[in-house]
Amino acid sequence: MSPENPKDEMMQAEQFLNLLADIYLYLPKPATEYYSWPDIVDKGLHDLGIKVHWK
């Protein structure tokens, strides 16, 4: 993919990230999903036995 041959691990990582950045915009993106974070927090607090009345 590249004519360069990285000399060490740091240069390999840099090359990998640069090549990934080159193709990133062409990768398919998943649909956006909504998560009700307040509900998730309430359920987590309930599971921990913490009672919060902020609503």
Burial class of residue 15 (count of CB atoms within 10 Å of its CB; 0-12, 13-18, 19+): middle
Q: Give Cα 55 distance to the centre of its chain.
A: 30
pTM of the predicted structure, to 2 decimals: 0.48
Cβ atoms 39, 55 nearer than 8 A: no
Q: Give Cα 31 distance to the centre of its chain.
A: 14
Alpha helices in 1-55 (DSSP H): 9-24, 37-47
**pLDDT bracket for residue 54 (50, 70, 90):** low
Q: List pLDDT tens digits, range 17-42.
A: 999 999 999 999 999 999 999 999 99
